[in-house]
Amino acid sequence: MGKPLVVLDNVSYQYDSQEDFALKNVSMKVYEGEWLAIVGHNGSGKSTLAKLLNGLQFPTEGSISINGITLSEDTVWDVRRQVGMVFQNPDNQFVGTTVQDDVAFGLENNGVPAKVMGERVVDALSRVNMESFLDQEPHHLSGGQKQRVAIAGVLALRPSIIILDEATSMLDPRGREEVIETIMKLQQEESITVISITHDLEEAARANRILVLNKGEIYREGTPEEIFQMDEELVRLGLDIPFPVKMSKQLSEKGVVLSKYYLTEEELVAELWTSHSKM
Amino acid sequence: MDISLKNVEYRYQNNTPFERLAISDVSINIESGQYLAIIGHTGSGKSTVLQHLNALLKPTKGTVWIGNREIRAGRKEKNLKEVRQKVGIVFQFPEHQLFEETVEKDICFGPQNFGVSEEEAKRRAKEAIKQVGLHEEILSKSPFDLSGGQMRRVAIAGVLAMEPECIVLDEPTAGLDPRGRKEIMDLFYRLHRENHVATVLVTHSMEDAARYADEIVIMHKGRVQKKGTPYEIFSVPEDLLELGLDVPEVVRFQLKLEKAFNVKFGKICLTAEELTDAVADYLRGGTPK
Ligand SMILES: Nc1ncnc2c1ncn2[C@@H]1O[C@H](COP(=O)(O)OP(=O)(O)OP(=O)(O)O)[C@@H](O)[C@H]1O
Ligand SMILES: Nc1ncnc2c1ncn2[C@@H]1O[C@H](COP(=O)(O)OP(=O)(O)OP(=O)(O)O)[C@@H](O)[C@H]1O
Ligand SMILES: [Mg+2]
Ligand SMILES: [Mg+2]
C-alpha cells in the first residue's frame, strides 16, 4: 500500500436545513494508487463525503487533509488542482457551450497552454469515444453521452485523485466496462488514486478496497472478499450480493459441493470444472 | 389503451443549422397491458422514442397514436392534457421533473393538475412515498435537499400518484441502491400484473429486460434493429455483442460453463434459479440434455 493521500479525522457534516447529520464521525484513509469503492444505501452520505473531499463544502466537525494539505477555504484551490470529480448528475457539471469548450474549461483554469490544451481535449474525448461530438452542446446529448463527456473533463485534467460519483450509471454494459477499464489503466500506469462511489457491485468487486456507509457512518471497510462475505447482512444495508456469490450459494443449496462462495464467474467455473467434470 | 408509433422520424432543432436526426422509421406497438423493454447502445434513440409516447416530442415525420388520439407530423397539437394524464413518464434524470418547494407539493402536482382534489392528492402522495421506500417525513422537505437516489424515488412517486394507464420508465433504477432497485422494479411489475398497467422500460440492465418484459425492442443508430421475446433476443448473444450490448449475467455465466464443460444445456436460462437447476441436473446426471 502507498502512503495515505487522503486522511479524514472524525469528520461530521450537517446540512443547514436538516436536523440529522449527513455524516457522523467518519475517520478513514485513502492510499496513493489504490481504487477505493464506496457503497451504501440511498442517503447514506456518499455524495456528501465526495463534496467534502473536493472542498465544495467543509466539515461541521473534524478535519480533512489531502496530500498533506489541510482542507480549508484558503487551501481549497490547491486541493482542487489535485482532485478531479465527476458528479452524480452531469448536467450540474457542464459549463461550456460546446463539448470541447467544456472539457477545455478546467484546463484553462489550471493555466495549461493553448496548444497542449487542444491535444489533451481531443485525447480525453477519444478515450471515452466522444471525439465526434466536439461542437455539440453538452446539454443536447443523450444521458450516456453526457456521462462520457463529464468523465473526459476529468481525464483531461490529469489529477492525482479521481472521484467518481456514480459516474457510469447510465452507460450501456459494454460502455461501462470500457470506461472502467480506461480509468483502471490510468490508475495502474500512472498511479492515480480512484475513489468510486457506486451501486454497481460488480464494479465494487474489482476495487482494492470497499468502504460501506450506513446512515452517515462507516459500517465496515475491507477487501471485496471480506465485504461480500457479509452475505445477507448486505441486503439489510440496502445492498445486495454479487451474482457469482449468489450463484455459488444457490448451487450449494442444490447439493453441488463448493469449497467457498466465489466473487468472480471465472473462479466459480474453474472450481465446477476441476471438481465435477470427471464425475 | 394502445400506443403505436408508425414510421416515426425525429430531428432535434429541425430546420436549423444544428439539426440532428435522432430516430428514423421507428414503428412500435404497445398494447394495453403489455410490458415492453427497449434496449440499445448510448445515443441509439431510446429516450427520444419515449418522449413521443406522451407527445412531449412530436414526430418530424410519421404518426403516433396514443389511444384514440392521433399525433401527426407537421400539425399543431392542442390540449394534450388527457394524453399526459394517461401516460406517466419517469425521466432519465429525475431533477428534470422536480420543481416544487416541497416533496408533497411535487407529488400532488400531477394528480391535482388532472382534477383530483387536494385531499385525495395528499392521500395518494402519502401512499406513493411509502411505496418507493421513503419515510413520510420527507414529504415536507425540499426535493432539492435530497440525495440522488431519494430524488429518483420522489420522481417515481409522482408518477405513481397520477395512477396512469401506461407507465414509461427511462432507466428508472439508475441511482437506486441495489435493494431499492429490486423493490421498485418488483413494484412496477406488480402494478403491471395486478392493475394491467402497460409498461415501457428503457434500461441498460439486461437482467431487468430479461426478467420483466414480455417483448424487447433493440434500438440501433436511431432505428429499430430487432424485436422479440427475451428468450429470442438473448438466445443469440453474437447479435447483441455486435450492437455493443450484452446478455444478462446469468446467460453469460451459462455460456462460460458450457464452454468449459464443452456441452450445451439445451436452452438459454434467463434466471439464476433456472440455471441452478440446469447445472445441478447436469452435474448429477453428467449427460447434457
Ligand atoms: N443539498 C442538500 N441539502 C440538505 N440535505 C441534503 C442535501 N443533499 C443531501 N442531503 C441529505 O443528506 C443525506 C445524505 O445524502 P447524500 O447525497 O450524501 O447521500 P448518498 O449516499 O449520496 O445517496 P444516493 O445513493 O441516493 O446518491 C440524505 O439524508 C439527504 O437527504
Ligand atoms: N436535445 C437534443 N438536441 C440535439 N440532439 C440530441 C438531443 N438529445 C439527444 N440528442 C441526440 O439524439 C441521439 C439520440 O439520443 P437519445 O437521448 O434518444 O439516446 P438514448 O438511446 O436515450 O441514449 P442513452 O442510453 O445514452 O440515454 C443522440 O445522438 C443524441 O446526441
Ligand atoms: Mg449520491
Ligand atoms: Mg436516454
Interface membership of B280 toward A (CB under 8 Å): yes
8 Å CB contact of A89 and B148: yes
**Co-location of A46 and A181 in the same domain:** yes
Weakest-pLDDT range from A103-112, A145-154, A204-213, B9-18: A103-112
Nearest CA to ligand 1 atom 3: B145
Q: What atom in ligand 1 is closest to the CA of residue A216?
A: 14
**Co-location of A136 and A114 in the same domain:** yes
The vertex-A12 CA angle with A9 and A15, nearest 5°, equals: 150
DSSP structure string for chain A: ---EEEEEEEEEE--TT-SS-SEEEEEEEEETT-EEEEEE-TTSSHHHHHHHHTTSS--SEEEEEETTEEPSTTTHHHHHTTEEEE-SSGGGT--SSSHHHHHHHHHHHTT--HHHHHHHHHHHHHHTT-GGGTTS-GGGS-HHHHHHHHHHHHHHH--SEEEEESTTTTS-HHHHHHHHHHHHHHHHHS--EEEEE-S-HHHHHTSSEEEEEETTEEEEEE-HHHHHTTTHHHHHTT----HHHHHHHHHHHTT---SS--SSHHHHHHHHHHHHTT-
Rounded to the nearest angstrom, the minimum Cα separation between A236 and chain B is: 8
Contact present, B3 and B165 (Cβ < 8 Å): no
Mutation test of the interface with chain B: which of A199, A249, A278, choosing the one with the most B Cβ atoms within 10 A? A199
Nearest to B18 by CA among A158, A98, A9, A29: A98
Mutation test of the interface with chain B: which of A20, A140, A172, choosing the one with the most B Cβ atoms within 10 A? A172
With respect to residue A21, please indicate whether it lies within any of the assigned structural domains. no
Q: Which residues 6+ apart lie within 8 Å of A197 measured at CB?
A: A37, A38, A39, A46, A47, A50, A88, A163, A164, A165, A166
Q: What is the mean pLDDT of residues A10-35?
A: 96
Q: Is the pTM of this model over 0.90?
A: yes
| Res. B168: pLDDT tops 60 | yes
Rounded to the nearest angstrom, the minimum Cα separation between B9 and chain A is: 17
In order of their start, the domains of chain B are: 1-78+200-246 (3.40.50.300), 80-164 (3.40.50.300), 248-289 (no CATH)
**CA B245 to CA B40: how far, in whole Å?**
7
pLDDT-based confidence at B286, cuts 50/70/90? low
On average, the pLDDT of chain B sits at: 94
**Co-location of A147 and A261 in the same domain:** no
**Co-location of A199 and A157 in the same domain:** yes
Q: What is the mean pLDDT of residues B156-175?
A: 96
| Res. B289: pLDDT tops 50 | no
Q: What is the mean pLDDT of residues A46-61?
A: 97
- The maximal CA–CA distance of chain B, rounded, in angstroms, is 66
Interface membership of B20 toward A (CB under 8 Å): yes
8 Å CB contact of B43 and A145: yes
Nearest CA to ligand 1 atom 10: B146
| Res. A277: pLDDT tops 80 | no
Report pLDDT digits (tens) over A114-156: 889 999 999 999 999 999 999 999 999 999 999 999 999 999 9
Percent of chain A with pLDDT over 70: 99
Q: How far is the CA of B149 from the centre of ligand 2 (A)?
A: 23
With respect to residue A203, please indicate whether it lies within any of the assigned structural domains. yes
**Co-location of A259 and A133 in the same domain:** no
Q: Which structural domain, as residue segments, surrounds residue A275?
A: 242-279
**Co-location of A247 and A219 in the same domain:** no
Nearest CA to ligand 1 atom 27: B148
Interface membership of B196 toward A (CB under 8 Å): no
Interface membership of B77 toward A (CB under 8 Å): no
Q: Which ligand is nearest to the CA of B204?
A: 2
| Res. A279: pLDDT tops 70 | no
pLDDT-based confidence at B214, cuts 50/70/90? very high
8 Å CB contact of B256 and A266: yes
Q: What is the mean pLDDT of residues A175-180?
A: 92
With respect to residue A14, please indicate whether it lies within any of the assigned structural domains. no
Q: How far is the CA of A110 from the centre of ligand 1 (A)?
A: 30
Q: How many CA atoms lie within 13 A of B125 on its CB side?
A: 24
Q: Residue B285's pLDDT is what?
A: 77
Least CB–CB distance from A166: residue in B95, B148, B257: B148
8 Å CB contact of A144 and B176: no
| Res. B196: pLDDT tops 90 | yes
pLDDT-based confidence at B287, cuts 50/70/90? low
With respect to residue A19, please indicate whether it lies within any of the assigned structural domains. no
Rounded to the nearest angstrom, the minimum Cα separation between A244 and chain B is: 9
Report pLDDT digits (tens) over B53-108: 999 999 999 999 999 999 999 888 888 999 999 999 999 998 888 989 999 999 99
**CA B2 to CA A67: how far, in whole Å?**
60
| Res. A13: pLDDT tops 90 | yes
- In chain A, the residue whose alpha carbon lies closest to the alpha carbon of B152 is A42
Contact present, B136 and B130 (Cβ < 8 Å): yes
**Co-location of A171 and A276 in the same domain:** no
**CA A84 to CA A73: how far, in whole Å?**
17
Nearest CA to ligand 1 atom 25: A42
Q: Residue B151's pLDDT is what?
A: 96
Which is it for the CA torsion B39, B43, B44, B47, positive or negative? positive
Q: What is the CATH number of the domain that holds A110?
A: 3.40.50.300
Contacts of B249 in chain A (CB under 8 A): 202, 243, 265
Q: In the structure, which protein residues have their CB atom closer than 6 angstroms to any atom of ligand 2?
A: A 140-145, 170; B 12, 20, 22, 40, 42-48, 92
Interface membership of B266 toward A (CB under 8 Å): no
Contacts of B245 in chain A (CB under 8 A): 172-174
Contacts of B142 in chain A (CB under 8 A): 17
8 Å CB contact of A42 and B175: yes
pLDDT-based confidence at A162, cuts 50/70/90? very high
Q: What ipTM goes with this model?
A: 0.93
At residue B172, the 3 state secondary structure works out as coil
Report pLDDT digits (tens) over B249-268: 999 999 999 999 898 888 89
With respect to residue A4, please indicate whether it lies within any of the assigned structural domains. no
**CA A92 to CA B98: how far, in whole Å?**
15
Domain count, chain A: 2
- In chain A, the residue whose alpha carbon lies closest to the alpha carbon of B259 is A269
**Co-location of A261 and A187 in the same domain:** no
8 Å CB contact of B261 and A142: no
With respect to residue A9, please indicate whether it lies within any of the assigned structural domains. no
Least CB–CB distance from A239: residue in B93, B145, B179: B179
| Res. B179: pLDDT tops 60 | yes
With respect to residue A17, please indicate whether it lies within any of the assigned structural domains. no
Interface membership of B177 toward A (CB under 8 Å): yes
Alpha-carbon dihedral of residues A220, A222, A228, A234, nearest 10 degrees?
10
How many residues are recorded in chain A?
279
**Co-location of A226 and A246 in the same domain:** no
Across the A/B interface, how many CB contacts are shorter than 8 Å? Answer: 154
**Co-location of A256 and A172 in the same domain:** no
**Co-location of A224 and A276 in the same domain:** no
pLDDT-based confidence at A269, cuts 50/70/90? very high
**Co-location of A214 and A162 in the same domain:** yes
With respect to residue A250, please indicate whether it lies within any of the assigned structural domains. yes
A71-82: string of b/e by CB count within 10 Å (b at 16+)?
A: beeeebeebbeb
Q: What is the mean pLDDT of residues B191-220?
A: 96
Q: What are phi and psi of B103, to 5 degrees?
A: -60, -40
On average, the pLDDT of chain A sits at: 93
